[in-house]
Amino acid sequence: MNEYPPQDNQPPQQPYPQQPYPQQQPPTQYPPNYPPGYQPPYPPYAPPPPAPPAKKKRGPLFWVLVVVGALIVCGVIGNAISHSSSATTSTAPTTSTTQAVQATGTPVPTATQAPTQAPSQAKVGDTITLNDVDATLTKVKVGPVDQYSTPKSGYEFVTVHVKLKNHSGVEQDYNQFNFHIKSGTGNITDVDAATYGEGINDLGDGKLSDGGTAEGNIVFQVKKGDHKAMLTWQPNIFNGNAGDNGWNLGL
């Protein structure tokens, strides 16, 4: 006898439910289909980079200002240099010391400028001192210098002998052209060029060290009969005028 019941008596079995498979989307068409008359949108894009700013043109006014500024700077620098130069090269005047009393009663020395040296009028044999240099007119000779030289009409040669000595403590320049003839009418003339260096033992020019001496002759042309004619000496432009200091020739 069969132990299993007949299959006809068993209830039918339910099959396992089937999971639905996802439906595959149809591939997107490229380009997509748009209805007639539809304007497709433009795809987004990066904006162009901003243009560099235009360089400003420098007009005539700019260059005028540059030139004016340069002139101002040069003027300031030149002014500063001139002030600096004058401060370092100026010579302090000779001074004498006086006493001033302040409010406290303490005497304080103050500097006052020494008086200007009065013009010197001397005669043959006398010595005139300027800048601590002595000049002595030792001799005056009237007449021909040599057999070749001739003075101009109405004039005569006058030869003077001068001796110099430096006791200033520093080196000093000398030159026979620092000597002049001053006529009685005030006309000041130079050394006679025709006889300069003609073997007359002239004074010439050079330098004197401290304690140094030099002497020599100087030839001039002087108007005949000028009894007020003078030999004058001006070592440099700071010693007054050319006719201030001198010797009467005694003609």
The number of folded domains in the chain is 1
The model's confidence at residue 125, banded by pLDDT at 50, 70 and 90, is very high
Instruction: Give the domain extent around 196.
Output: 127-248
CA distance 146 to 102: 70
In this prediction, what percent of the chain has a pLDDT beyond 90?
37
Does residue 145 belong to any structural domain of this protein?
Answer: yes
**Out of 69-78, 97-106, 134-143, 177-186, which region has the weakest mean confidence (pLDDT)?**
97-106
Task: Report the pLDDT value the prediction gives residue 23, as an integer from 0 to 100.
Answer: 55
Note whether residue 30 is domain-resident.
no
144-201 tens-digit pLDDT: 888 888 899 999 999 999 999 999 999 999 999 999 999 999 999 999 877 665 667 8
Token pair listed for 58: 């420098």
Contacts of 206 by beta carbon, 8 Å cutoff, 6+ apart: 173, 174, 214
Per-residue pLDDT, 169: 94
pLDDT of the residue at 95 = 40
pLDDT tens figures, 188-236:
999 987 766 566 788 999 999 999 999 999 999 999 999 999 999 998 8
Q: Could you say which DSSP state residue 85 is in?
A: H
Q: Higher pLDDT residue, 111 or 70?
A: 70
Give the Cα separation of 245 and 229 in Å (integer): 13
Q: Which pLDDT does position 101 carry in this prediction?
A: 40
pLDDT of residue 56: 61
Q: Would you say residue 199 lies in a domain?
A: yes
Give a yes or no: residue 81 inside a domain: no
Residue 71 lies in a domain: no
In the chain, the DSSP E strands lie at 95-101, 107-113, 121-123, 127-130, 133-142, 155-166, 172-175, 179-182, 188-189, 205-208, 213-223, 230-233, 246-248
- In a domain, residue 189? The reply is yes
Flag whether 214 is in a domain.
yes
109 within domain boundaries? no
The CATH number covering residue 204 comes to: 2.60.40.1240
- Under 8 Å between Cβ of 115 and 96: no
How far is the C-alpha of 80 from the C-alpha of 150, rounded, in Å? 57
* Confidence category of residue 88, pLDDT binned at 50, 70, 90: very low
Return the pLDDT at 112: 41
Strand 133-142 relative to strand 179-182: parallel, antiparallel, unpaired?
unpaired
Task: List, in sequence order, every residue forming a beta bridge with 206; answer none if it has no partner.
Answer: 174
